[in-house]
Amino acid sequence: MVHRAPIKALAFDVFGTVVDWRSGIAREAAPFLARLNRGDIDPHRFADGWRKRYQPALEEVRSGRRPFVILDTLHREALEDLLRHHAIDPATLDEAALVDLTHAWHRLDPWRDSVEGLTRLKAAFPIVTLSNGNIALMLEMARRAGLPWDAILGAEVSRIYKPLPESYLATARFLGIAPGELCLVAAHHSDLAAARAAGLQTAYVDRPQEYGGRPAPDADAAQDWDYSVDSLTRLADELCR
Amino acid sequence: MVHRAPIKALAFDVFGTVVDWRSGIAREAAPFLARLNRGDIDPHRFADGWRKRYQPALEEVRSGRRPFVILDTLHREALEDLLRHHAIDPATLDEAALVDLTHAWHRLDPWRDSVEGLTRLKAAFPIVTLSNGNIALMLEMARRAGLPWDAILGAEVSRIYKPLPESYLATARFLGIAPGELCLVAAHHSDLAAARAAGLQTAYVDRPQEYGGRPAPDADAAQDWDYSVDSLTRLADELCR
């Protein structure tokens, strides 16, 4: 049995772990595409394409080639790129409609267990976001969905995107605790692997519907995580007894 | 009648506005001083001396002469200076006791109307901190006192101490709103004056007991603020009808 420090706080990945980004984006993309008479584009595939497209932009910032910009900005750029890929020129579209669709990322619904799980976990531990999403995005999402965060941390606060080690270390520092006293809760093995390498504890949450039932792109990065559950209420069962 | 933009979020000064720092510090200083056989030092005056002493240190950071450090660090330095002023050598004291007393600033009680007022205001507006206190301090205080912040912003997030204009502007930017759509709620005229100069709306909360009934040091900086109330529940009456 490995000795672990007592957990003093829980930091959460959000997109995919706490909220269902794919259904939420598809829900808002569908009427947007219908208004353009582009019912031929599957809105769930549109969501997949959007999500995939901002990874190279994130890498530009992580590498230092580009100064820090918030995720809303990267989401907007990725949307325009995706529209061009579908032969839609974003310059011909209404600016307010583009802003509104970009903000669909602020209006994602939680998985069914998220609010209850977070509420129970919050009774025992400080719960904070450790997401690449910006502050306004996380705040609007939390108010709409009832996510009871103690604090919104993550990329805009640290000016560092995951999975760079400093993103995890800065979060522990903001909380005034050691990295080993912080536990990352995430549905993504790659995120957890980086957190573990930085010294954090790790809790995996299985979210088989994140990609509509298809395997996650980082499924082969699985490790034996400190905790492994299939919902946040289960995590509360594990940690709050 | 001056035209004002609709308020989209409320940012709160915390020490003095939401919590009673003087009573809280005195409550924890009293047993600390008693253990040193220094019952001759009035714990409320000790609190006043501590609060006053970190202003020059803040100015060192604001001026750029010193890199950004969090308020916990400045509180600790000010405590050591205050102890020396009372002929107590901090080097002779237990480190854990010094850390614990420094963290008394994390354990301040809210004014009687704060929790109800914030809870009502939160139903209508995002409510965030805009304090010079660091994240861990604000988070621990909020959990202990039941302050339902949507987000902890302020000095550690912006790396700027009030009343520099950028501290207010950065907070609006983090929220994705214009400065004129953000309202600072504070018991201090100097804070409100700086916020107004940066373009924010202003709400004054009278806290006559902040200095134990004596006048505030910035009483002569009073202006005709956009809102002026004597409690956060009154502010909710004004803003939430």
User: Are A133 and A123 members of one domain?
Assistant: yes
Boundary residue ending a domain (B106, B139, B173): B106
Mean pLDDT in residue range B86-93: 97
Q: How does DSSP classify residue B38? A: -
Per-residue three-class SS string for B148-177: CCCEECCHHHHCCCCCCHHHHHHHHHHHCC
* Bridge partners of residue B204, in order along the sequence: B186, B228
Residue to substitute from B107, B139, B141, B182, interface A, most A β-carbons within 10 A: B139
Boundary residue ending a domain (B48, B76, B106): B106
Residue B167 belongs to some domain of the structure: yes
B21-25, B53-57, B193-197, range with the lowest pLDDT? B53-57
Mean pLDDT in residue range B212-237: 93
Quote the minimal CA–CA distance from B148 to chain A in Å.
8
- Give dist(CA A85, CA A50) in Å, integer: 11
pLDDT score recorded for residue A4: 81
Mean pLDDT in residue range B228-241: 96
SS3 B94: coil
User: Are B27 and B142 members of one domain?
Assistant: no
| CATH number for position B98 | 1.10.150.240
User: Are A125 and A158 members of one domain?
Assistant: yes
Kindly tell me if the per-residue pLDDT of B1 is higher than 60. Answer: no
Mean pLDDT in residue range B23-47: 97
User: Are B138 and B90 members of one domain?
Assistant: no
Quote the minimal CA–CA distance from A149 to chain B in Å.
7
Kindly tell me if the per-residue pLDDT of B2 is higher than 80. Answer: no
A72 touches chain B (CB under 8 A): yes
User: Are B82 and B120 members of one domain?
Assistant: no
Residue A196 belongs to some domain of the structure: yes
Which of A35, A230, A213 has the alpha carbon at shortest distance from A114? A230
The answer to whether the CB of A177 falls within 8 A of the CB of A128 is: no
pLDDT score recorded for residue A2: 59
Domain ranges, residue B116: 9-20+111-239
* A175 contact residues in B (CB cutoff 8 A): 135-136, 139
Residue B29 belongs to some domain of the structure: yes
Using one digit for the tens of pLDDT, what is the confidence trace for B128-141?
999 999 999 999 99
- Give dist(CA B219, CA B132) in Å, integer: 20
* A126 contact residues in B (CB cutoff 8 A): 139, 143
For all residues of chain B together, what is the average pLDDT? 96
* Contacts A–B by Cβ distance under 8 A: 53
Quote the minimal CA–CA distance from A190 to chain B in Å.
27
Using one digit for the tens of pLDDT, what is the confidence trace for B152-189?
999 999 999 999 999 999 999 999 999 999 999 999 99
Residue segments in chain A with a per-residue pLDDT below the cut of 50 = 1
Q: Work out the number of other CB atoms within 10 angstroms of the CB of residue B79.
A: 23
Q: Number of folded domains in chain B? A: 2
Q: Residue A139 and residue B126: Cβ atoms within 8 Å?
A: yes
Buried-exposed string A104-130: b where 16+ CB fall within 10 A, e elsewhere: bbbbbebbebbbebbbbbbeebbbbbb
pLDDT score recorded for residue A120: 98
ipTM above 0.90? Answer: yes
pTM of the prediction?
A: 0.97
| CATH number for position B200 | 3.40.50.1000
